[in-house]
Amino acid sequence: MAHAHGWRSIEIGILRQELDSMARTLYLLNEPRRKRRSALLMQATSPGQRWGIRDGEIAEPARRHGGWVDMVYKFSSRFIHLSNQHDYMVRDPFQALAPSERVEMTEYLNFYHHGDLTANSTFADVIEYVPRVFQKISDNLDYYLDELEGKAR
């Protein structure tokens, strides 16, 4: 719905939330101590509870699953935290990236989502792939949640 309405900051914020859930699930899957994993799961589902673990530490297992996670995380963070990416109606946030980041992102989108983007593409071009990226993250999250559920038994 956010995509259809052109609500780009909201759309990318939701993408980031889904990515964060996937990262937390991978963190739990990589926790070898069953008791600690159970305690973290309880905290995650209890009101007002926090893990007390830095985001970078939580994201580490997800980063090992592919460079795309880190790239999506960094790009979406710019829309979550106060930055120059919020004025995307005035300035192109994709073109504001370093050339190497634009190349990396377009290569990922072209390979995994059959795009034909270049480093000269615009934010308007790139944003059209967000629903597909979201679906990929969501599918991965479902898979990892099933795996976590099996590990909890």
Give the Cα-Cα-Cα angle 26, 47, 50 (nearest 5 degrees).
50
Q: Is residue 44 assigned to a domain?
A: yes
- How high is the pLDDT of residue 61? 84
Q: Which has the closest alpha carbon to 140: 3, 4, 5, 29?
A: 29
CA distance 153 to 140: 20
Indicate whether this model's pTM tops 0.85.
no
Mean pLDDT of the chain: 84
Q: Is residue 8 assigned to a domain?
A: no
Number of H helices, E strands in the chain: 8, 0
Q: Is residue 125 assigned to a domain?
A: yes
Which residues of the chain are modeled with pLDDT < 70?
Answer: 66, 78-90, 152-153
Q: Is residue 87 assigned to a domain?
A: yes
Q: Is residue 2 assigned to a domain?
A: no
Number of independent structural domains in the chain: 1
CA distance 93 to 82: 13
pLDDT in tens, 35-46: 999 999 889 888
The residue segments making up the domain with residue 97 are: 14-152
Q: Is residue 86 assigned to a domain?
A: yes
